[in-house]
Structure 1
Amino acid sequence: MRAINPWINFNGNAEEAFNFYRSVLGGEFTKIIRFKDLANEQFQVSYEDAHKIMRIGLPIGKSNVLLANDVPSFMGTVNENENRSKIVVNAESREEAEQLFNGLSAGGEVEGPIDDSPWGTYAGMFRDKYGIEWIIEFDPNI
């Protein structure tokens, strides 16, 4: 398997969230596609949804991409507080783990402070300011 890439749904703030993620994780976005870019006779796009993100990607590391979209209004809203899936980031050092944890958790809610875990890693868990849950972990044995 080459990679598993998480895909997140947002309620109109995908671009804002991804600019925040890029400020912490670095990198450059892959092509950003907006709903208006896909509009045609068979796929009508409302004015409200025209500038929303249909697809955005942020490469992370060598073979992973964090992906997202805004949910168009005709599909309803996403309850971000009900989302219990987590994005796990495996850092290359304790220092990188701390940097990522502190950066991505800013403005969010820490569920488990970053510290030595009972299973031998350095890990922490939080929900970021966009409602997305993350685990940042460094395993010195890998």
Structure 2
Amino acid sequence: MKVNPYLNFDGQAEEAFKFYKSVFGGEFTANMKMSDAPGTENLPSSEQSRTMHISLPLDGGTVLMGSDIMPSAGHQLNKGNTNYISLHPKSKDEADRIFEGLSKGGEIEMPMADQFWGDYFGSFIDKYGIHWMINYNAEFN
């Protein structure tokens, strides 16, 4: 199972990732804006250009990933939610098992579901306040 760090920002994700790219090298494998997602046409114009998801592969198979928060959705950047542990299991069944196990007693942000970008994904905060993402993509396993 791969584990990738996922970083949250308040409107500075792309700027931060350009900096990380200047240090690590490589090329972005994703750089999607909030405006790229279906149903976001009603977001405030100040949030349309925020980063929905950005990925920078690092040596050894690790991928540094991140996004901007959406204040209009009530998101706030606080200590504790600036990082997620993003797990990439090898099957949907394993994704469900891990999600169900770790989220018990916690707060589910997004239940596991097929997403518009093609992955099976869910996120939650565990009962200890740790932020997790579970992401399964059959093409990459």
- Supply the AA of the counterpart residue of 1:34: K
The residue type paired with residue 49 of structure 1 is E
Deviations 1:10-31 (A, max 9, x none): 0000001000101011111112
In structure 1, runs of 5+ residues without a counterpart are 88-142
> Does the alignment pair 1:30 with 2:29?
yes
Q: TM-score, normalised by structure 2?
A: 0.52
**8 Å contact 2:58–2:64 — kept in the other structure?**
yes
**Is contact 2:5-2:83 (8 Å) kept?**
no
Q: So what's the TM-score if we normalise by structure 1?
A: 0.52
Correspondence for 1:117:
none
The Cα shift of 1:73 comes to 1.4
Query: Is the contact between residue 11 and residue 69 of structure 2 (CA under 8 Å) also seen in structure 1?
Result: yes
- Which amino acid is the alignment partner of residue 24 of structure 1? V
2:68: which partner in 1? 70
Separation of aligned partners in 2, 1:51 and 1:83: 24
Measured at CA, do residues 12 and 84 of structure 1 come closer, stay the same or move farther in structure 2, by a change above 3 Å?
A: closer
What's the secondary structure of 1:28's corresponding residue?
A: coil
Q: Which has the higher helix share?
A: 2
Q: Which residue of 1 aligns with 2:93?
A: none
- By how many angstroms is 1:63 displaced? 1.3
Structure 2 alignment gaps of length 5 or more: 85-141
**Maintained 8 Å contact 2:7/2:67:** yes
Q: Which amino acid letter does the alignment assign opposite residue 54 of structure 1?
A: M
State the alpha-carbon separation in 1 of the partners of residues 75 and 82 from structure 2: 20
Q: Which of the two has higher C-alpha Rg?
A: 1
Question: Does 2:47 align with 1:49?
Answer: yes
Contact 2:8–2:82 under 8 Å retained in 1: no
SS at match of 2:28: coil
Q: Is the CA contact 1:39–1:45 (under 8 Å) kept in the aligned structure 2?
A: no
SS in structure 2 of the partner of residue 4 of structure 1: strand
What is the correspondence of 1:1-142 to structure 2 with a 5 Å cutoff? 1=1, 3-40=2-39, 44-74=42-72, 75-79=74-78, 82-83=79-80
Write the deviation string for residues 43-95 of structure 1: whole angstroms up to 9, x where unpaired: 7322111000000000001311000000011233203xx249889xxxxxxxx
Change over 3 Å in CA distance of 1:39–1:66 after alignment to 2: same
Question: In percent, how many aligned pairs have the same letter?
Answer: 35
Instruction: Output the CA distance in 2 between the equivalents of 1:33 and 1:53.
Output: 6
Q: Which amino acid aligns with 2:64?
A: L
